[in-house]
Chain A
C-alpha cells in the first residue's frame, strides 16, 4: 500500500470541491481552478487526492496541471509580480522592466524569493495597453513602468 498523506481539513476541502462538481473527471479543470484558488498552488499530494476523488489517474491530473500555465505546483509569493509581455508592452520596453525586476529580486521567471515575499511571472496582455508597459502586483496595476521605477515599486511592499 502506498500512502499519500495530507492534513485532514485539506482532504475534506478537496473532497467538498470535487463533490460540488459531481466528482466527474470531465470537471478536472474546474476542480483544479477551485482548489488552487483555495490553497494557492497544487502540490503533488493535492493532485493525488483530486485524482482519487474524480476517479482519473494522477498522471492525467498532472498532465493537465503542467499543460496550463495558470496552474502551479510552486507556492506564489505574498506579492506575486506579473510583467505583461504582450506585444504592446514589449514594444514599449517591458523586457527591460522584467530584467530589472529579476536583478532587484535575484530570481528568475517562475521563482519565488527565499523569504516567500515575491514571485515573478510573465503574462500576456492584461488589456491595459494604454498604460504599457504594465506590471501587476497582486491585483494592483502599475502603468508606464520604467526601469528606474522598479526599486520604488518593490519598496512599497518591503516596508
Chain B
C-alpha cells in the first residue's frame, strides 16, 4: 500500500506538503513505516484539492486537511475502512464516490500527456522508468533511424500544442533537412497565457517525459543540445526539472553515448523573465541569446536559422509529453484518437465560474458542452452560462451556440477563437463581455514588445476605445473604429501575438454585439461590472437600519440613523460592493 499526495501548485498552496509530513508522522506513530507517502504532480481536480489517493485500491480523498492524517492512517491504512467524509460526493445523487474514474470530472477524460501526473513521484526517476519511462528513447536509439522517427510522428498526426497547431512531424522534418555543425532542440516552457497552467503541471508532475521526448527529438533532427526555456516564476517546476536532469545524467540517459548508440544529448535550462511575447519562437530564441525578447519576421524560420543562427526545433511542453507514448504505442494508436485533422488529446486548464476547476485532458472532438457540463460540473451557484473563452489573449469568447461544436484546431478557428495553449475560462452572467475584451487587451498592451506599429499603438488604441465604452462615453463610430482597427492589426502585425490580439474584441463584437450596443446606446452594463454605468441604491422599504453597510463602507459614503433607512451618497461611493456583501436584507441594489 502507498499514499499519493498531490504536490501541484494548487494543492501545495493548501498545505499538501504538511499533509505529507503529518501522514508520515502518523504512519510512524501507528507503526506503519512500510507504507510509502509520495508527493506527486497535479491530479487535475484542483477544485477539490488537496487530493490524497490511497493505492492500490484507488481511493480518492478530496479536500484533505493536515489534521485528517491520523484518521486516514488509523481507519484506512490499518483497518481498511474508507474515511467516508473525505470521499467525493456526487453533486447529483449525493452518493460518495471512492474511485476517481467514476466521477463526472474524470469519466470523459483521456490522459495521455498527463499520463503520469498524479501517479508517480516526479522526483524519482525509478518510478518513471517503472512506468515505461525511457523505453521510447531506448527503442528509438537502438531500433529506429531518424527518418523512421520523423515518419512515425508525422503519421501520428500530432500538432503543436502551444497554440499554432503546426504539424510536429513536419516541423522535425524541416529541421532535420537543414544541415549544420550544431543544431538545437528547444522546449518552450514559457507558459504565459493568463489562465493556463498545463505545462507547469506536466513539468512538475512528469518532468522525465519531456526530457525523454527532447532526446528523441534531438536524435530525429541531429541535434545534440537541448534547452528548456522556462518561466522563472515556476520555482517548483524548475526544481523538479533540475532533479530530473541530474538523475537522467546519472543513469546515462543524458550525456555521451546514450544506450551505447553513439548518440550524445544533453539539456540545459534557460530562464524566462516575464515576457508573454517570448512564447513566440523567434522571440524566445532571442531571449535565450540574452537579448530583448522581440520577435523577428519569419522566414527565416528557426528550423533554418534559430538559436545562435543554427537550425533549431522549438516545441512546447505538452507536445513533447505526447512523444514517448506515440513511439511506444505507435502512430496508428494515436491517430485513432481525435478528429480527422486534430489527433490525440488536448489538455485544458478549466477555470472560471464553473464547479470543477482543474486541469483536464480530453480527446479532440469532444464538445464544449461535454467539457463544461459533464467534466466541469456546470456553472457555479447554478447561474446561467454566458461564454467560454479559449485560447487566452489570442483566442475568443464562444457562446451558447458553439456548445455542441467538437473541439479541434480548425473548428475553434472557424468559430472565431483558437486552441491556444489550452486555457478555458467559463463565464456566467456576472461577466461583462466588453470588460472581458478590455481585460485581454490590457494584457496585450502590457505584454506587447513594442516593435511593430499595429501592436504597439494599435492595441493601445483598441484598449482606449474599450475603456471609453465601459466608461459610458462610447459612440456608434467607436464600434466601427474597433472593427476596422482590429482587422488591420490582425492583417499587419509582425508576430503571432499581435496578429491574434484583436480576437477577444472581434469575437465579443460578433457574439455579444448587443452588450456593446447597450453600453454605447443605453449606457448600461447588464452584468453590473462597469462601475461608471452603475449606481448603488438602498431600497428604503427593505432597509432596516442595521448599520452593517455604513460600518463597512470604506469611504464613509453611507449615512443613516440606527434603525432608520440608510442612504448612499453616490458622489462618494466608489462602487466597491462591500455594502451589498454585508446587507442581509437584500436592500441594496445596483441600478
A–B in direct contact per CB < 8 Å = yes
Residue numbers of A with Cβ under 8 A of B are 24-30, 32-33, 63-64, 67-71, 85-88, 90-92, 96, 99-100, 103, 123-132, 134, 141-143, 146-148
In angstroms, Cα B554 to Cα A144, docked, is: 21
**Cross-chain pairs A/B with CB under 8 angstroms, 24 sampled:** A28-B290, A29-B287, A67-B292, A69-B275, A70-B233, A87-B351, A87-B392, A87-B423, A87-B425, A88-B195, A88-B351, A96-B576, A124-B276, A125-B194, A125-B196, A127-B234, A128-B10, A130-B10, A131-B13, A132-B357, A134-B13, A147-B576, A148-B552, A148-B578
Interface 0/1 of B214-243, CB less than 8 Å to A:
000000000000000000111000000000
Asked if B396 is an interface residue, CB under 8 A from chain A, the answer is no
In the complex, what distance in Å separates the CA atom of A91 from the CA atom of B427?
Answer: 7
Residues of A within 8 A of B301 (CB): none
Whether the pair B273, A126 counts as a contact (CB closer than 8 A) is no
Q: Contact between A143 and B293 (Cβ–Cβ < 8 Å)?
A: no
Contact check, A26 vs B273: say whether CB atoms are below 8 A apart.
no
A157 to chain B, nearest CB (A): 18
A143 to B423, CA, bound (A): 20
How many angstroms between the C-alpha atoms of A123 and B292 in the bound complex?
Answer: 20
Q: Which residues of the partner chain A approach B292 to less than 8 Å between Cβ atoms?
A: 63-64, 67
B512 interfacial by beta-carbon distance below 8 Å:
no
Contacts of A27 in B (CB 8 A): 290
Q: How far is the CB of A20 from chain B (nearest CB, A)?
A: 14
Complex contacts, B233 vs chain A, CB 8 Å: 70, 123, 126
B394 to A: closest C-beta gap in Å: 12
- When distances are taken between beta carbons in the complex, the residues of chain A under 8 Å from B196 are 125
List 6 tightest A-B contacts by C-beta distance, closest first. A130-B46, A127-B197, A88-B351, A141-B13, A87-B195, A68-B273
Instruction: Flag if B271 contacts A30 (CB, 8 Å).
Output: yes
- B511: CB under 8 A from chain A? no
Q: Which residues of A contact B425 (CB under 8 A)?
A: 87-88, 91
The yes or no answer to B498 lying at the interface (CB within 8 A) is: no
Q: How far is the CB of B307 from chain A (nearest CB, A)?
A: 10
B523 within 8 A of A: no
Partner pick for A130 among B49, B275, B423, B577, CB 8 A cutoff: B49
Q: Which residues of A lie under 8 Å from residue B9 when comparing CB positions?
A: 126-128, 141
Chain A nearest CB, measured from B82 CB (Å): 23
Closest chain B residue to A85, Cβ basis: B194
Q: How far is the CA of A109 from the CA of B273 in the complex (A)?
A: 18
Question: Does B406 belong to the interface (CB within 8 Å)?
Answer: no
B47 within 8 A of A: yes
Shortest Cβ distance from residue A50 to the other chain B in the assembled complex, whole angstroms: 11
Would you give the 0/1 interface string for B278-302, flagging 1 where the beta carbon is closer than 8 Å to chain A? Answer: 0000000001011111000000000
Taking a contact as CB atoms under 8 Å apart, the answer to whether A70 and B232 are in contact is yes
Q: Which residues on the B side are within 8 Å of A131 (C-beta)?
A: 10, 13-14, 46
- Do B10 and A71 have beta carbons less than 8 Å apart? no
Chain A: CB-nearest residue to B423: A87
Contacts A32-B273, A130-B49, A131-B46 supplied; 18 other A-B pairs, CB < 8 Å: A30-B271, A68-B275, A85-B194, A86-B195, A88-B352, A96-B577, A124-B276, A127-B9, A128-B10, A129-B357, A130-B48, A130-B357, A131-B13, A141-B12, A142-B13, A143-B13, A143-B14, A148-B581
